[in-house]
Amino acid sequence: MLIDIILHFFIGLIAVIIGAVPLGLVNLSVVETTLKKGRQEGLKISFGATLTELIFVFLSLFAGARLAGILENNPVAEIAVVLVLIVAAITFLVRKNGSKETNQRSFNPFVKGAFFNLISIQVLLYWLVAIAFLQTSIGIVFTIECIIAFCLAVAIGKMGVLFIYARSADAIVKRSSFLSKKINTVIGLVLLVVALLQGIKIWFG
């Protein structure tokens, strides 16, 4: 039993690191917020994104097959995701790069992190595929104790990766003069690319 719990913990840790390390929307948002408002505010985005990540994991564990069917056969839901992505992209593209956001105009960092991870549909798809693979191809069985260990690892791993991004924000931007001057534009373009890919999938699906 203890060996199974430890095994599920390390599997969850490896899985979340693989999914979280590539530079994406949430990672860029952590870097942006850290640069503008400090590391503490950047970490609030990490907490929000981690909460959404855990929701995705629970959905994949307990309703994976049904949820996959809904996503694949529900064009209304897919179009809604595309529209949200486009609106968010426009918001970033029209925002001045390097501008300081006022408290009245800025989103709560926790909500921002949760929202950005929520609209990143590829994150949910990643967990659907990853958990289905673990259950069917490897034969991993998720008992209550193992689910707790797995989710704990996901939370620790996600927060750990985003903490590294927050801590390395200055170094990341210094290595890219374009990113330092156009970070809002970069985030907006990332959102547009994701929306475009989702739109192509709907059109040809």
Token pair listed for 159? 């927060």
In the chain, the number of structural domains is: 1
Note the pLDDT tens digit of each residue in 138-175. 788 899 999 999 999 999 999 999 999 999 887 876 66
Q: Radius of gyration (Cα) for the chain, nearest Å?
A: 18
pLDDT value of position 85: 75
Note the pLDDT tens digit of each residue in 50-102. 999 999 999 888 876 666 566 666 677 678 778 877 887 787 777 665 544 54
How much is the pTM? 0.75
Statement: residue 177 has pLDDT above 80? no
The answer for residues whose C-beta is within 8 angstroms of residue 118's C-beta and 6 or more apart is: 52
Note the pLDDT tens digit of each residue in 24-36. 889 988 988 898 8
Residue 56: other Cβ atoms inside 10 A: 24
Domain that holds residue 63: 2-204
Statement: residue 179 has pLDDT above 70? no
> pLDDT band at 203, cuts 50/70/90?
confident
